[in-house]
Amino acid sequence: MADLGKILIIDDNEDVLFALNLLLKTHCGKVKAMRSPERIVHFMTDFRPDIVLLDMNFTRDTVSGEEGMECLQTILKLDPNAVVVMMTAYADTEKAVQAIKAGATDFVSKPWDNGKLLATLHAAMKLRRSQADAIRLKERVEALSAEREEACPELIGESDCMKRVADTVAQIGDTDVNVLLLGENGTGKDVLAHLLLAHSARSAEPFVRIDVGAVPETLFESELFGHEKGAFTDAHKDKKGRMELANGGTLFLDEVGNLSPAAQAKLLTAIEKKRIVRLGGTQEIPIDVRLVCATNADLHALVRDGAFRQDLFYRINTVEIHIPPLRERGNDIQLLADFFLGKYARKYHKPVKGIDREARAKLQAYPWPGNVRELQHAVERAIVLSHGETLCPDDFLLYPPVRATGVPPTLNLQQLERQAVERAMQLSGGNMNQAAELLGITRYALYRKLEKLG
């Protein structure tokens, strides 16, 4: 017969506990027994039984089943999906119906028949496993729907540098190697991550993304590894972390260069052991994920300076892909502009069909400090505000590039900070996450700066 998993027995009779333990220990992964329901909270949260075998009557009242029903309610509050089989020496139809209506899975009487008891427990374990499968399926569906931004990502570009990127993606498509994506903000690292997913053997499995730069350091461990109920003040229930949700699929760590030294150490341990422990928990959970990491930071320099662990660096960059900035991609600017034109003309129901020659020259001459993301926003804005079928130079509001050398117009730190924040907000089209990325700070730090600057 199949393994019964972990069983918790609650009965005030030592002879009953001994007999059940002797019977079940060869059929279960683990058996725990307790004579009183007083420590039920501890056993439910620490032992986490698959099945609870619960007596209906304890010392206070030997016939009504009141104590057993109270204990049942406590168990179901702790775990609404708990599988509880009730036991009583005073079995009758009324108590059986009452217990099952209250949430019990089944009902057995004492003295029990060993064969019937085992059959009941195997049926209960089958239910437990089907519930677990349903929960995992629901979480996978939620992870897929929340993280898959596009079903079939497209890599647009004919430049030599982009052809090399496409060739690398094709070469590693059906492997499980960890990939590190390097490139400036806005170059399309998230699109390439989805493209890697589409080419991989894990394409039908969860794709889970975590923006390291947007998660406060104090919450990162909980976000990545999950937490147990009561692990900290606001932990009102168990929560699976992103790594656990991605099990069997792909975990995309965006802006991995922002990881703190403590977070780097914990991530390295999880990768090496292929196991995690939720915050506040003790149970190790096996994990099988493919890592795709991305950053706009010079990770090689961070390793040299000791700001990023060398052992973690080698773990995450089995294959390293450099995504070139848009200014180095030549005619790809025109291909991308046409792609975004078609996309947003359909989205906003505009009759725009093309871009005139002067406007194309303007786009080609611009250095695109915000890369593909800035071009995308520029075309979208031009489409929204357009009046005809062809976009002209005046439809594209492009900002003069920030001078890389020379003395700035002002050395006042507050003014320079204001200019940088305003520029980032312009380039990102008001998107807080993207503006924070451009500034190299977290979204929460950006909120504080906006508030300070009024």
Q: Is residue 47 part of a domain?
A: yes
Q: Is residue 163 part of a domain?
A: yes
Strand 354-355 relative to strand 390-391, pairing: parallel
Q: Is residue 74 part of a domain?
A: yes
Q: Which residues contact 71 (CB under 8 A, 6 or more apart)?
A: 10, 37, 40, 54
Please count the structural domains in the chain.
4
Together in a domain, 354 and 255: no
Rounded Cα gap, residues 433 and 213, in angstroms: 9
pLDDT, tens digit, 9 for 90 and up, residues 398-433: 876 555 444 456 667 777 788 888 888 777 767 777
Together in a domain, 163 and 104: no
Rounded Cα gap, residues 124 and 49, in angstroms: 12
Is the pLDDT reported for residue 159 higher than 90? yes
Together in a domain, 231 and 219: yes
Q: Which of 21-35, 87-101, 194-208, 266-280 is predicted with the least confidence, judged by mean pLDDT?
A: 87-101
Tell whether omega for the bond before 80 is within 30 degrees of 0, i.e. cis. no
Together in a domain, 303 and 177: yes
pTM of the model: 0.61
Rounded Cα gap, residues 147 and 292, in angstroms: 14
CATH number at residue 412: 1.10.10
* 344 contacts 376 by C-beta, under 8 angstroms: no
Q: Is residue 143 part of a domain?
A: no
Together in a domain, 220 and 197: yes
Phi, psi of 259 (to 5 degrees): -65, 135
The candidate with the shortest Cα–Cα distance to 68, out of 110, 28, 29, 26, is 110
Together in a domain, 178 and 318: yes
Domain endpoint, select from 385, 401, 417: 401
Q: Is residue 1 part of a domain?
A: no
Is the pLDDT reported for residue 150 higher than 50? no
Task: Print the SS3 string covering 302-328.
Answer: HHHCCCCCHHHHHHHCCEEEECCCHHH
Together in a domain, 280 and 172: yes
Q: Is residue 249 part of a domain?
A: yes
Together in a domain, 198 and 229: yes
CATH number at residue 373: 1.10.8.60
CATH number at residue 26: 3.40.50.2300
Q: Is residue 106 part of a domain?
A: yes
CATH number at residue 289: 3.40.50.300
* 80 contacts 44 by C-beta, under 8 angstroms: no
Please list the alpha-helical segments (H only) found in 83-113. Answer: 93-101
Rounded Cα gap, residues 420 and 116, in angstroms: 74
Domain endpoint, select from 322, 355, 380: 322
Secondary-structure breakdown of the chain: helix, strand, coil percentages, each rounded to the nearest 5: 50, 15, 35
What is the residue range of 118's domain? Answer: 6-135
Together in a domain, 233 and 310: yes
First to last CA, the chain: 69
pLDDT, tens digit, 9 for 90 and up, residues 42-88: 888 888 888 999 888 776 545 566 778 888 888 888 888 889 998 87
* 287 contacts 243 by C-beta, under 8 angstroms: yes
The candidate with the shortest Cα–Cα distance to 69, out of 93, 120, 104, is 104
Query: CA neighbours within 13 Å on the CB side: how many for 48?
Result: 9
Together in a domain, 316 and 246: yes
Rounded Cα gap, residues 188 and 321, in angstroms: 12
Mean pLDDT to the nearest integer, 306-326: 94
Together in a domain, 374 and 337: yes
Q: Which of 338-347, 391-400, 401-410 is predicted with the least confidence, judged by mean pLDDT?
A: 401-410
Rounded Cα gap, residues 417 and 433, in angstroms: 18
Together in a domain, 215 and 250: yes
Rounded Cα gap, residues 226 and 240, in angstroms: 4
φ/ψ bin of 99: left (φ > 0), alpha (ψ from -120 to 50), beta (otherwise): alpha
Domain endpoint, select from 267, 299, 322: 322
Rounded Cα gap, residues 394 and 377, in angstroms: 15
Phi, psi of 54 (to 5 degrees): -115, 125
Q: Is residue 280 part of a domain?
A: yes
149 pLDDT band, cuts 50/70/90, is very low
